[in-house]
Amino acid sequence: MRIVLKQFDDTVASAPLKGKRRAIPDSEAGLTLLEMIVVLVIIAIVAGLVTMNVVGRPDQARVTTTKTNLASLSSALKMYRLDNGQYPTTQQGLKALAEKPVTPPLPAAWPDGGYVSEDPVDAWGNPYVYSSTGASFELKSLGKDGKPGGEGLDADLDTKGG
């Protein structure tokens, strides 16, 4: 944007405007049409690049989301253990973080609302695979295909605690 400042003589500069506006000659107008088009083209290019990088990688975003969720669930499981002396059993599963277990061993201290708001699933909508010895746990996402093993987006993602 072009800003044009002109020096006025003291009588004009100190006189009140009294509702009059000075016409701006075309040579002093802000942005020209060509400059506006160039700015819009640059904005469109940047928006296109951002969109391609964000929208073009939904599966990579799911991997990142699942890794983040695994870390959050691991923290929730550790809080459960701090409160109750052990991790939920394999049979109780991750549901024990969302709903108070009704099968033994019953938690000694279970907070209102639980440790997570709902029975968790990974970013592809598949349930996590949870196993526990009571003293340690293993938590897995089976990846995009929902099957053990695999490579790339189908690879398993896991975390362990104990």
Q: Are 94 and 88 in contact (CB under 8 A)?
A: yes
pLDDT more than 90, % of the chain: 52
Higher pLDDT, 35 or 123: 123
**83 backbone φψ class: left, alpha, beta (φ>0; ψ -120 to 50):** alpha
Nearest to 96 by CA among 124, 125, 84: 84
- Pairwise CA distance, residues 124 & 21, whole Å: 62
Q: How confident is the model at residue 118 (pLDDT cuts 50, 70, 90)?
A: confident
Q: Is the pTM of this model over 0.85?
A: no
Neighbours of 77 (CB within 10 A): 24
pLDDT (mean) for 26-44: 72
In DSSP terms, 144 is beta-bridged to none
Q: How confident is the model at residue 100 (pLDDT cuts 50, 70, 90)?
A: very high
Tokens standing for 1? Answer: 């944007």
| Dihedral sign (CA 103, 120, 136, 113) | negative
* The pLDDT value given to residue 9: 53
Strands (E), 13-121: none
Q: Are 29 and 36 in contact (CB under 8 A)?
A: no
Nearest to 141 by CA among 159, 119, 117, 162: 159
Domains and CATH numbers, the chain: 59-161 (3.30.700.10)
* The pLDDT value given to residue 81: 94
Least confident of 37-41, 108-112, 129-133, 134-138: 37-41
Q: Are 161 and 78 in contact (CB under 8 A)?
A: yes
Give the 3-state secondary structure of residue 16. coil
